[in-house]
Structure 1
């Protein structure tokens, strides 16, 4: 019997508001964008795409109002050229700014502020429409560089949002692993192990993350290989595993008050219109 692979989950948190966006992928060419109010832990489906959204090249504006994303549906003869970068009103996908691409080199971008954004444009976009209330920052705004594809956006986003890059090295299985850390409290540090390479198992792509909890007082390391995404949300820890979003709190004794916030597994592709 074929093993069912749960949907892949990646989350973008707004820095200056309680808004968040969940990017749910699965099966391969079915991608949903879901809005998440972190104050109430209520979820609302925005729109679906029959295609691929490259979650590591996406970003959510600090106020949570706009989403920048890179997508591909392979319709190379369309006006969007089969792949494109867009800015939409979160949690929807309908573009208010649209940059046709035509390939999967570069693409996506990052928000500097709630109105200023940087477009990952090293290999060329074609402007189709533009929301003039948003301003494109043309010059490269950071010191670090990690290439033009997923890691060139993702690693910058992680460091901007408080993660510390510790080191990068071969993982012994044919991949490269880059370790990021984020302090949780006086006892615990959350580690993100960002894998890049071809030696991945079913349900994982070329890029995937695993996690660890490290206790600096005792030296204890708790491996969380099934956590495909994890972050701090105020005093609580939130993570995605096996198609679900979870929360909990770390104290001196370990992870407490664990609960499932939402199970995204039952969702199915549906046509939904943006309200703008």
Structure 2
């Protein structure tokens, strides 16, 4: 049997220089890593920390990082499918990354539903029913109010939630900084047909403000993930590497300023 190609997916905190990386080293072995990219002078720390080693499957598209980067909600499956039997054990958990040890644990038992999404004002939507005997921490945990009914959400949050669960065919992510006198460049993400726990759910293209592909960025089409960090740097994850680019609108994309080797951390 040919071993699976290593793949990686990144979850960025929205309000802190923190990211969680799922590094799927082989078909059923994934490492959870933490990236601290706090600004230091003219550069960034870009320090990786090793977390849990997980035997099974983690679902990046059903996982989410809190705005401050201190909590992670994830959906997992442990074991392998067998002919004539139901899905192996699955669950949703809330943990402190890069550890996957569950503070809150929601058994599922199938691949329907699962996972969660952090909302504004310290709210966490979990797509699971409360487990039997759930204590008060399943209502409020570390200043987060935990919700289970998406029908009560405001219209804008309900739309964002729908887009998360069923991504549109094309999504545009503008550069997070103001483009000086120029139209906003963007990452354009195109959805592929999805397979279970896929790390290749999307294709990525880097375009300028007029919708033309930026020269030098052709290789990100082959990436497992691409996104902007909070300082406007381009991050590209592919296999065992996370490449970081200092991006400047109006210019071709040069060589990465840093390449982090995920394999070297584990």
TM-score range, shorter chain: 0.7 to 0.9
| 2:227 maps to 1:231 | yes
Q: 94-103 or 256-265, which moves further after superposition?
A: 256-265
- In the other structure, the counterpart of 1:153 is 165
Give the conservation status (yes or no) of the 8 Å contact 2:4–2:27: no
Task: Provide closer, same or farther for how the CA distance between residues 99 and 227 of structure 1 changes in structure 2, counting only shifts above 3 A.
Answer: same
- In the other structure, the counterpart of 1:139 is 149
Give the conservation status (yes or no) of the 8 Å contact 1:11–1:22: yes
| Residue 108 (structure 1) aligned to one of 107, 115, 122 | 115
Using the alignment, how far apart are the partners of 1:214 and 1:254 within structure 2?
10
For structure 2, the 5+ residue unaligned runs are 39-44, 82-87
What aligned pairs does 1:13-24 form with structure 2 within 5 A after superposition? 13-24=12-23
| 2:48 maps to 1:38 | no
- In the other structure, the counterpart of 2:241 is 244
* Greater share of strand: 1
CA offset digits 1:203-236 (Å, max 9, x no partner)? x948521111122348346543212111111221
What aligned pairs does 1:86-97 form with structure 2 within 5 A after superposition? 86-97=93-104
Supply the RMSD in Å over aligned alpha carbons: 3.1
Shift in Å, 1:104:
0.9
- In the other structure, the counterpart of 2:173 is 182
* Greater share of helix: 2
Matched length: 233
Give the conservation status (yes or no) of the 8 Å contact 1:6–1:243: no
Using the alignment, how far apart are the partners of 2:11 and 2:133 within structure 1?
25
- In the other structure, the counterpart of 2:41 is none
Shift in Å, 1:137:
1.6
Using the alignment, how far apart are the partners of 1:213 and 1:38 within structure 2?
22
Using the alignment, how far apart are the partners of 1:235 and 1:66 within structure 2?
23
Using the alignment, how far apart are the partners of 1:143 and 1:46 within structure 2?
32
TM-score by length of structure 2 reads 0.76
Task: Provide closer, same or farther for how the CA distance between residues 136 and 197 of structure 1 changes in structure 2, counting only shifts above 3 A.
Answer: closer
